[in-house]
Structure 1
């Protein structure tokens, strides 16, 4: 008995001493303004030991074995830091205050599910200002659509994702046609296309695949100072942030099936590929098929996105991102209204449109292969300066049949004539950027600076056929084959088959156009912290535009120089919780020369112009209250566009820069997490836009068609049970809507008004550690509604989707 007690005592003492020989590490994470950072990832390299910093920035890692270790501290938007430590018997290592410096997002940390309570708000970004800047420090307004929000809504396409961005409305869907086949959206009174990926040009002639979206950033107002004019509009820009490699390994498989033949399978895989965990590879891929709610129409697509991040050492890192997609679809058939002849119908009720008709067939399709590549090199020059070198290339093509329906206004009975051609074109872009990003003090004043140079090249090739008349239809679905050009009565039917269309197109000429343009730019932006609460942002861009135009036509070449300034001021009455801001922002558009002079007096001369200018004044308030449970932005803006080329009132043979457009409005965005498990996203915007000076009396003092509806609103609430038998179950409810919208708004033709709408959506889900199952109902009340931009486009009726995600 005594021997057994002795043995037991020895074992207990051995365990005790063995445990006591394990040490611990403590510390506090802060940024270089001494603000404590919560949610920072701290882990022991090459182990599964780690955790996150608390609300006050403190952390503790326990039970660490004796020996030498490397502590890795990483946080989104900040440069990863590594600290070497040595643990002896029964020792606690005090690391004290650990300062993290803002940097790029290469090798971003694993976002641990549930650690960020306000999941619909994620405003940390290094793209909007081209340097890491908190939302409360940024004088510019932007909306972020997070991946958590997309999962909550079971979003399957880019258009649905953008419904969550305040003040954004789809004007028309992606047509797939060459040159401008991506979708168009209204933003602050102006049309914009999604043309940026990870802050640099990334073009497409089709729709953007939602499977690789980490988040969408909609930056508001003219943004030419940092991004130029090639990929932005006066209303702002849309930047798609893709999924990137992260520290760790894992991934997920997802399958979604729904109404109208929708099926999508996608995969996400991330892993280190070297023993030292310095090289990480991530692959996202998806395959989707979908049919139309109309009598014809489909889309199928394959997508793959490899990405690689390599951290050579604490100073140097490389990254590569690629997106390769192949899609085939029937192009959506818009009803194009006539801009010159009075319309017979002024609304949908008078038009008698049967929106279930597609007026096309599944034989007439377009293919849209797209490729985007980006290589980035980041080098830490010092604690204060970083170099960022980026090379990106895009290639997008269009091949197949494109058709549209146009109301000539001469055949009567609201007859629309079909025109069709065979698309064959591609666009190639190259962008090279060199940025130097600094964070330093001059005396007691902190400066965060980005200085960069940028070269952008675009080459377009068009070998498409001409457009051929291919019969008439009425909105009710009747056929009428009278030729609107000759008024000859045609009796032969126009068959919607590839062979029949090819026979008609055989007589059409084939374009042979290759055009090219170059943009050389330099820019600088500085965020100056005058005090800890008062800061100013100043920026300037010099832009040299070299247009070669059609390479076979030397007369369309021209050069232009533009300056784009930017100024903002921001004050935080409550540090890191409330900011008041104002900004002045600029945008511009290059204007081609024009022939002027009375031809009766001799040869006309070529007159050059300055770039068209847009200037915005904006002020507002941003909040981050109750430990990040309430993020809100309220702003008012006024955008004035000047120097549009118009006919000189004093001479019909002269052109002057005197046209003006004014757009003003206010926006409210709220992201809140009032209680654990409940996340709410809400937005409201109102825009007043009109053409104030123009030589075109058709549009003078009227709302531009690209401005979209005056009022837009959206809301989504998601609740997940936190405890009890229902833990993991949840539901989502929401709606989005718009006021009535002008499809046509001209002096002589009158108005065609698309009605207002409110669309309700709902979801239920179950969330577990390894999987998530969701059901989503879109357009719950089966509302018939339309969007358009001189067009009439019916939107998707009620649709149900089921989604399952497995994580590994």
Structure 2
């Protein structure tokens, strides 16, 4: 038995030695020793147990999990429900039988030496899995919602997956009265806001730092889902933040080197039900949502669900608003026992003003180095409600599932997504012009353009998903083809200067005479802003601007395969590979091919309770061509794909009958072949592709139900990032996308259990962010956003029919900012009240 696993051990060891630093080797060798030692002990066990598991609803009893609790012994049933476990020591055990959608059964058994025990059992459907309108479905740890096939494109449980991911459930979003995607993502360890939604064409959605790399929420049900504005959470069933370079399964179009953000939407179910909600709050917040589900035929094989929301809100600043209307119909159709269809659609009409963005200099020494020195009043928006931008978008998805046989399923998916930007977009950029008499404070130029851009993307996927055995080894395999097409049409204008903004404490006279060029005291400007913020005045400025007339097209053809092999019920390995052919019709056209491998190993010393994992993952980016400039000479440059390689190990826990979920991991991500340029002037620019970056860190996540009624979500992240090779101005410095070194999140919710207060509850939590170097370089110096702690609390009352929640966010009214070489003020203290009725 020992020799049976020796080849696998040597292959895994070779990968580790080639890829990992010395500090990785000792923990992994220890893990391998445990595996081999456990294999030797396993071969000495003497008792056996076998039997047949049946399902009360007469469904196929294949692949039901049968384990001995608190041991490493376990198996799955065959197509007839039969199972068998051998070489078990004599003693008392608990046999645990479980399957997704069925009530777990536990049976006490006693095994004596040499005994062959026959133990049959029957399990029943779990109503919690079959309906979405039961309050928490009787589930105690109701913030835990880990399982989703989209994450690995395979039916893998969290403990079986060597990749780390965080799931944010719709139950948690309701508990926190979340009305926007930014607040939803505060519940994921290691995710930090970098850049709020701007609405500008092709990349106007918000940016977040994930393991120190910038990422946008671009995946919807595992498929591309593009937005140029703020996403609405009304149709969210859960959000999966999938950590680490994920190019192997998801390509390069929706991921970053830090991972990806996938939104899983609500799906129809087989009976009538729903919920309506009204939320009102500070700054003119008015929000109405409805979630209605109904069968469309007597057989309940066709079901319709509609989620919709109307949202209106002003800003805490002197100007700013957002209005949105969201509609998301979805339809399911079960054509037969083998064939089913699912259609998901989302339509969002959104209009908002630009968020305030102060861009700091990127090429000259900074004049100020922190918020105190800047002296910015965060109530100032430097815009007007006349200058808004509309960002309508839609996502259309159709999926077909066909069960070929008991081992193989076909999944065909087609998606069409569109995002448009039309309106005024502006930002403030630190002026490079010299103002000798201005000795304190900063002068910004306001730049504005009229956006008129449309992004249209199509994706077609075909997956074959298998669950079969080769000998005694279980294989779960996905093989897929993917075609992605994206077109961007831009007919917006160029940028024009719309006045200057002065922030600082210099005298009114000095600023007016030397910044605004006003010498008559009767015409002095006291607001520090000489821009024209009416629609008519802005249109007049833009009348002479150039108009873009560009259309770009990208196509990506991909094939991928991923196999998870169970050598033992407690030991599995993942091997995956993707080939990606990137074709760009712009700049004369160019094509690139990228390979992206992925490997992982999982050992469960206590089956379904504790897992130890390690992974190697790869991600890549296709880089557009550029030109070296030397005076009047231009030399075209074509670049190879950039690559990121991650090594990670850690542990996952699922203890105390699902009352405690936890993940602890250490990762190291190295980016190579990074493209950068050195710009000495407008006529002296040279590109290079030998840049490198290294990010490493630690993450911890806990989802717990320690006592009845108390649910806790907590997380911590540490990110150390640095440029290791490239431009001398950045080598040795922290990248601006890295965010803070330390972040933490917490939310605790308690529902009273005694009769007198039954139905009442309290919620409390918040977020911590350490100092954030949003600008950091040899030439510019450092600008640091200070650390902050934001605390939130709520009180609520509810039963099976209705729920009322009162919540206060940012109780201490702390000044908070995010940034990515930019400064953006975030919301101050606010209060909200939310009422829901279920039917």
> Which residue is equivalent to 1:501?
538
Distance 1:640 1:99 in 2: 48
Checking the alignment, whether the CA contact within 8 Å between 2:135 and 2:800 is kept in structure 1 is no
> Which residue is equivalent to 1:802?
833
> Which residue is equivalent to 1:552?
none
How far apart are 1:25 and its partner, in Å? 6.3
> Which residue is equivalent to 2:608?
576
> Which residue is equivalent to 1:782?
813
1:202-217 → structure 2 map (5 Å cutoff): 202-217=225-240
Decide which of 466, 483, 488 is 1:455's aligned counterpart: 483
Checking the alignment, whether the CA contact within 8 Å between 1:463 and 1:510 is kept in structure 2 is yes
In structure 2, do the counterparts of structure 1 residues 114 and 309 end up closer, same or farther at CA, with 3 Å as the change threshold?
closer
> Which residue is equivalent to 2:717?
685
Distance 1:756 1:707 in 2: 15
In structure 2, do the counterparts of structure 1 residues 27 and 514 end up closer, same or farther at CA, with 3 Å as the change threshold?
closer
In structure 2, do the counterparts of structure 1 residues 163 and 543 end up closer, same or farther at CA, with 3 Å as the change threshold?
same
Distance 2:404 2:627 in 1: 52
Distance 2:825 2:629 in 1: 46
Q: For structure 1, which runs of at least 5 residues remain unmatched after alignment? A: 1-23, 39-54, 60-72, 79-93, 550-554
In structure 2, do the counterparts of structure 1 residues 265 and 594 end up closer, same or farther at CA, with 3 Å as the change threshold?
closer
Decide which of 608, 621, 632 is 1:589's aligned counterpart: 621
Distance 2:212 2:533 in 1: 38
1:486-635 → structure 2 map (5 Å cutoff): 494-549=531-586, 555-595=587-627, 606-635=636-665
In structure 2, do the counterparts of structure 1 residues 282 and 190 end up closer, same or farther at CA, with 3 Å as the change threshold?
same
Checking the alignment, whether the CA contact within 8 Å between 2:360 and 2:430 is kept in structure 1 is yes
> Which residue is equivalent to 1:264?
287
How far apart are 1:251 and its partner, in Å? 0.2
Checking the alignment, whether the CA contact within 8 Å between 1:29 and 1:99 is kept in structure 2 is no
In structure 2, do the counterparts of structure 1 residues 755 and 195 end up closer, same or farther at CA, with 3 Å as the change threshold?
same
Distance 1:76 1:340 in 2: 61
Distance 1:769 1:163 in 2: 28
In structure 2, do the counterparts of structure 1 residues 363 and 613 end up closer, same or farther at CA, with 3 Å as the change threshold?
same
Distance 2:57 2:323 in 1: 53
Alignment of 1:129 onto 2:152: yes
Q: For structure 2, which runs of at least 5 residues remain unmatched after alignment? A: 1-54, 70-93, 105-118
Cα RMSD after superposing both structures: 3.0
In structure 2, do the counterparts of structure 1 residues 224 and 108 end up closer, same or farther at CA, with 3 Å as the change threshold?
farther
How far apart are 1:26 and its partner, in Å? 8.9
Distance 1:99 1:769 in 2: 24
Moved more, 111-120 or 206-215: 111-120
Q: Secondary structure at the match of 2:755?
A: coil
In structure 2, do the counterparts of structure 1 residues 792 and 595 end up closer, same or farther at CA, with 3 Å as the change threshold?
closer
Distance 2:411 2:60 in 1: 26
Checking the alignment, whether the CA contact within 8 Å between 2:66 and 2:95 is kept in structure 1 is no
Distance 2:56 2:688 in 1: 71
How far apart are 1:495 and its partner, in Å? 2.4
Q: Secondary structure at the match of 1:474?
A: strand
Q: Secondary structure at the match of 1:326?
A: strand
In structure 2, do the counterparts of structure 1 residues 744 and 366 end up closer, same or farther at CA, with 3 Å as the change threshold?
same
How far apart are 1:33 and its partner, in Å? 4.9
How far apart are 1:700 and its partner, in Å? 1.0
In structure 2, do the counterparts of structure 1 residues 513 and 76 end up closer, same or farther at CA, with 3 Å as the change threshold?
farther
In structure 2, do the counterparts of structure 1 residues 149 and 482 end up closer, same or farther at CA, with 3 Å as the change threshold?
farther
> Which residue is equivalent to 1:311?
334
Checking the alignment, whether the CA contact within 8 Å between 1:29 and 1:36 is kept in structure 2 is no
1:458-469 → structure 2 map (5 Å cutoff): 458-469=486-497
In structure 2, do the counterparts of structure 1 residues 704 and 609 end up closer, same or farther at CA, with 3 Å as the change threshold?
same
Distance 1:704 1:264 in 2: 38
Decide which of 273, 277, 281 is 2:304's aligned counterpart: 281
In structure 2, do the counterparts of structure 1 residues 28 and 522 end up closer, same or farther at CA, with 3 Å as the change threshold?
closer
Distance 1:263 1:334 in 2: 25
How far apart are 1:604 and its partner, in Å? 6.5
In structure 2, do the counterparts of structure 1 residues 154 and 108 end up closer, same or farther at CA, with 3 Å as the change threshold?
same
How far apart are 1:722 and its partner, in Å? 2.0
Q: Secondary structure at the match of 2:136?
A: coil
Distance 1:689 1:77 in 2: 46
TM-superposition CA deviations, 1:531-559 (whole Å, max 9, x none): 1100001100000000112xxxxx44210
Moved more, 705-714 or 343-352: 343-352
Checking the alignment, whether the CA contact within 8 Å between 2:500 and 2:531 is kept in structure 1 is no
Decide which of 760, 764, 768 is 2:795's aligned counterpart: 764
TM-superposition CA deviations, 1:322-379 (whole Å, max 9, x none): 0001011001121111111212111111111111111110000000101000000110
In structure 2, do the counterparts of structure 1 residues 358 and 56 end up closer, same or farther at CA, with 3 Å as the change threshold?
farther
Distance 1:116 1:433 in 2: 35
How far apart are 1:75 and its partner, in Å? 2.1
Distance 1:563 1:99 in 2: 45
Alignment of 1:743 onto 2:774: yes
> Which residue is equivalent to 1:395?
418
In structure 2, do the counterparts of structure 1 residues 690 and 306 end up closer, same or farther at CA, with 3 Å as the change threshold?
same
Decide which of 732, 742, 750 is 1:701's aligned counterpart: 732
TM-superposition CA deviations, 1:416-442 (whole Å, max 9, x none): 111111111110000000000000001
> Which residue is equivalent to 2:83?
none
In structure 2, do the counterparts of structure 1 residues 598 and 468 end up closer, same or farther at CA, with 3 Å as the change threshold?
closer
How far apart are 1:592 and its partner, in Å? 2.9
1:166-565 → structure 2 map (5 Å cutoff): 166-409=189-432, 410-411=434-435, 412=438, 413-475=441-503, 494-549=531-586, 555-565=587-597
Distance 2:100 2:573 in 1: 28
Q: Aligned residues, how many? A: 727
Checking the alignment, whether the CA contact within 8 Å between 2:764 and 2:794 is kept in structure 1 is yes
Checking the alignment, whether the CA contact within 8 Å between 1:353 and 1:476 is kept in structure 2 is yes
Alignment of 1:75 onto 2:98: no
How far apart are 1:310 and its partner, in Å? 0.3
How far apart are 1:34 and its partner, in Å? 3.1
Query: TM-score under structure 1 normalisation?
Result: 0.85
TM-superposition CA deviations, 1:203-228 (whole Å, max 9, x none): 00001101111111000000000000
Checking the alignment, whether the CA contact within 8 Å between 1:221 and 1:616 is kept in structure 2 is yes
Distance 1:489 1:634 in 2: 63
Checking the alignment, whether the CA contact within 8 Å between 2:57 and 2:124 is kept in structure 1 is no
In structure 2, do the counterparts of structure 1 residues 647 and 463 end up closer, same or farther at CA, with 3 Å as the change threshold?
closer
TM-superposition CA deviations, 1:681-721 (whole Å, max 9, x none): 11000000000000x22211000000111111011110001
Distance 2:123 2:129 in 1: 20
Distance 1:199 1:474 in 2: 46
TM-superposition CA deviations, 1:735-782 (whole Å, max 9, x none): 211100012112112111100001111000001110000011100111
> Which residue is equivalent to 1:50?
none
TM-superposition CA deviations, 1:25-58 (whole Å, max 9, x none): 69999761533899xxxxxxxxxxxxxxxx9888
How far apart are 1:572 and its partner, in Å? 0.2
How far apart are 1:595 and its partner, in Å? 4.6
In structure 2, do the counterparts of structure 1 residues 436 and 345 end up closer, same or farther at CA, with 3 Å as the change threshold?
same
> Which residue is equivalent to 2:182?
159
TM-superposition CA deviations, 1:765-803 (whole Å, max 9, x none): 001110000011100111111111111111111101100
Moved more, 282-291 or 788-797: 788-797
Q: Secondary structure at the match of 2:737?
A: helix
